Amino acid sequence: MTDGTPERELVLTRLIPAPASALYRAWTEPALLKRWFAPKPYTVSEAETDLRPGGATRIVMRAPDGSEFPSAGVYLELVENARIVFTDAYVTAWEPSAKPFFTGIITFEPEAGGTRYTARARHWSAEDCAAHKAMGFHEGWGLCADQLAGLAQAI
């Protein structure tokens, strides 16, 4: 990590045998997001994207028992086929959220054999980072990365 706060960052990386353009599409097209974004047996019941800095993103994960977990935020940066940065510090129209948790930095770097996919979660506090880790960040985001890889190879 480059910002000197390793106690506040979780990182997952994979070499995915698919082009960066397919991974970017899977992250930005709601119909594709619904197919991979939640670790099975969870599903995504709703996905909305407004692909511009300040544009809102909203994803609702559904548990097998029917309970739902909405996540709202805004995009901070979008570089087609290369980088997506989003945060839950704001919700629609730059309205501050009640409790910011993290900023996500997703990168897609072409590499021999496919694309180096890196997902970084930078948290507002070390406590938030520890809580995200305890919630199963690596396991859950790892399962989702595997699902993303399968989808990206098929589109």
Q: For residue range 89-127, what is the model confidence (pLDDT) as tens digits?
A: 998 878 899 999 999 999 999 999 999 999 999 999 999
What DSSP letter does each residue of 40-109 carry, written as one string? TT-EEEEEEE--STT-EEEEEEE-TTS-EEEEEEEEEEEETTTEEEEESSEEGGGEEPSS--EEEEEEEE
> What pTM value is reported for the model?
0.91
Looking at residue 92, its pLDDT comes to 82
pLDDT of residue 4: 54
For 40, other C-beta atoms within 10 Å of its C-beta total: 11
pLDDT digits (tens, 9 = 90+) for 45-73: 999 999 999 999 999 999 999 999 999 99
Domains in the chain and their CATH numbers?
A: 7-154 (3.30.530.20)
